[in-house]
Chains A and B, each alone.
Chain A
């Protein structure tokens, strides 16, 4: 839900990082948090288990600057990736403006990626969205791993149509900002249409 406050001249957009367990959703947000100017980022809230697995969500507000006289603020959320947290995942998608799907490039995780995208499509539909039309980015994470599946194979399996596809190594920040930017661009262009 894009929340436009004309009084304080702010636009708030919600971006959700989605993907299978341990694919690097939280790592994406942590990297952004570490790199962002402290005056522009809010607190990174992580609702995680004792072993650092996301239990409910991670959340971080990020001020981006000004566009057409309005301050742009992104609210970044991650979902818990583990299969049995599906009810929580559905809740977090409520009112989102865009989704970054973080795929795990390791061959052994190909099936988990496919399952997670199918799950995303269902949960988006239950929230009144269509995965084919919502601002959406496909991030292929962990490209530095030795057991990585080839790019074209992942593309064939995971890419729907012309959505931006970005190679990433989130732990080193590669492709992280690019993914966020690709998603933000679609969300802001969506505002133009409305």
Chain B
């Protein structure tokens, strides 16, 4: 699981690695996501390294300020975006997937009783507690904390961090919408995938 825990860190920059090079104007794309928004057609979202670093900084600060053990930022489809704290102690991939499932199920419950959403979930354990909150339309912030912090402190700090995170998400989304109308799309490094490449993945 080591790699999963590394996901939140910047391991290398595209231009420094041996992989396919990217066009100049897309020099630092960090994560590209395609996701459905209700019944609207799929939209590509690309987050640049600068924005990712800002996200990382915000959740790092949140983890410090709230005296929590770990903070994860995952998207609503169950992919981890960033993490801070003692991430090695946790199976991050399963955490992201289960959190997304949990939020999705709670979302369903909210709609059943006529609520738009429940923006906050709190699970209290014997030692550790889990604070889950929705950020913007797509993000989920997960804070794991123990007795060295308190629910009040976590809530306070999460509120502030959420606002900052939301601004970044909105910026990313605005740019994605602007780009969707342009014909210029960034060239995919996967444009030349062959059948042999796929066979190799399966060891054939």
Interface residues of A (CB under 8 A from B): 1-12, 14, 42-43, 45, 47, 56-57, 59, 61, 63-65, 67-72, 75, 87-88, 91-92, 94-95, 125-129, 177, 181, 184-185, 188-189, 191-192, 194
Contacts and interface: CB of A to CB of B under 8 A. Distances in A.
B7 A67 contact: no
Contacts of B32: 2-4, 6
B52 A69 contact: no
A194 to B, nearest CB: 6
Interface in B1-41: 1, 3-4, 6-7, 9-14, 17-20, 22, 28-41
B192 A192 contact: yes
Grouping DSSP codes into helix (H, G, I), strand (E, B) and loop, the A interface class, with mixed when no group exceeds half, is mixed
B1 to A, nearest CB: 6
Given A8-B10, A69-B189, A188-B193, 9 more contacts: A4-B31, A8-B9, A9-B11, A68-B190, A126-B39, A128-B38, A177-B202, A185-B195, A194-B190
B191 interface: yes
B31 A45 contact: no
B35 to A, nearest CB: 4
A68 B193 contact: yes
Given A59-B94, A67-B201, A181-B202, A191 B13 contact: no
SS of B interface (majority): mixed
A57 B101 contact: yes
A64 B75 CA distance: 22
B113 to A, nearest CB: 13
A74 to B, nearest CB: 10
Given A7-B49, A184-B201, A75 B97 contact: yes
The 7 closest A-B pairs by CB, nearest first: A69-B19, A95-B77, A128-B36, A191-B190, A91-B104, A1-B35, A4-B32
